[in-house]
Amino acid sequence: MATRFPPGFLWGAATAAYQIEGAVQEGGRTPSIWDTFSRTPGKVLGGDTGDVACDHFHRWREDVRLMAELGLGAYRFSVSWPRVQPTGRGPAVQRGLDFYRELVDELLAHGIQPMATLYHWDLPQDLETSFPSGSAAGGGWPERDTAYRFAEYAGIVAEALGDRVERWTTLNEPWCSAFLGYGSGVHAPGRTDPVAALRAAHHLNLAHGLGAQALRAALPARAQVGICLNPSAVRARTDAPEDLDARRRIDALANRVFTGPLLKGAYPADLLADTAGLTDWSFVRPDDLAEIRQPLDFLGINYYTPAVVSAAADPSVPRRDGHNASEHSPWPGADGVAFHRVPGELTAMDWAVDPSGLVDLLTRYTAEAPGVPLYVTENGAAYDDRPDAEGRVHDPDRIRYLHAHLSAVHEALRAGADVRGYFLWSLLDNFEWAYGYSKRFGAVYVDFASQARTLKSSARWYAEVAASGRLP
């Protein structure tokens, strides 16, 4: 029997600017922290960069035609901050805004609803290296001023696209920006300071709040404003008190460091206590939490795999948290926690396939944010996809992955979760951050030498599900 999704359920796909656009020196664009990071030897596998990526900046019409061929109802894309406001300050570059105006117009002409994400990790490099306080460690998200610069940028983009785009997300996965960028250093800008990571998390929260206000000041009343988080379905390895405490610590750092201020207007007391040996959190000013707790029109949930943790019997054992290898932890104040491989099938990212974590998160956040609709704004898997002798790309593993996770979404719906749509990650094979071009998440295969696009079997399967609203 087929599983039916509610009428009006939104079927989409998602991408990010630095991962697909290329054209990093065209139209007035200046370097982002990812341009700098990817050109630093040893930071990205194979020395890959996003200089060309999928050449979407020149091939966007072709890519929109592919979306239309797949019958997508929505497309979630991100705006490149350094393409629009090259130094992160001052007036916009109209050519950059025109690119997004033209893209959105083409989407609408094909009946595809745009969802714009303002920040998907490509901070203008000038904001990382040029900042008001004169901190010797660096600028960027640990600096309060960056949140104010983000709000200015949000207003610029809203003024340009507000008559065309109705759904907006401020930030994508601020956990990665803060803790992988400034804690473990495996993402741009590659810094390894646990206090800077915590400062960055707070200023990203503040940027969301200020940015949401700037968006609403410029957008029509019908517009919807949200944020995309990558909450972790954290599980204790056993019911032993020390393992349950490990779960609590990681839940605070992975989830409640954002949802506490966003949903409740406060940082969790246990998080403050866990990190008291690192910082007194004096970077949080009296009015900040009120600024952060803005009404949410929806909450985006990005999900790939759960986490299993325990108390660490041997703190010297390498950390296996799925976020690339580093001598520095992205978990400040949680050095005594061990991460364990989840049993079962693995994707090419070495991540376990476990859709039950998605059910857990969708039901959890329906309960924690009553009245706030949810979207699955990213979900997908990397596999070692290759064309066959006829040039076709068969990816049955991805079809099984998507079937299982869409079944999980439907299970959450039956349990009362208010899920309004699903965005497949990703539309295209692309630049996969520190993994370069070695990991393929796309429903569309990209030959990076020729830039030829080929629909994989999973793309056609997903198109049938989207067209029918039924999961076979």
In the block, tokens 């949410």 appear at 296
Q: Rounded to whole angstroms, how far apart are CA atoms 219 and 226?
A: 13
Active site residue 432: no
Q: Rounded to whole angstroms, how far apart are CA atoms 49 and 35?
A: 7
Q: Which of 21, 106, 143, 378 is catalytic?
A: 378
Burial of 132 (0-12, 13-18, 19+ CB in 10 A): exposed
What is the separation of C-alpha 411 from the centre of its chain, rounded to a whole number of angstroms? 23
Residue 361, SS3 per DSSP: helix
Q: Rounded to whole angstroms, how far apart are CA atoms 363 and 233?
A: 11
CA distances from 273 to 59, 168, 243, 333, 369 (A): 50, 34, 18, 9, 25
Torsion of CA 345, 348, 351, 354, to 10 degrees: -40
CB-based contact 375:298 (threshold 8 Å): yes
CB-based contact 322:350 (threshold 8 Å): yes
Active site residue 378: yes
Q: Which of 173, 242, 345, 411 is catalytic?
A: 173
Element (H, E) at 360: helix 356-368
Bridge partners, 119 (sequence order): 171
Active site residues: 173, 378
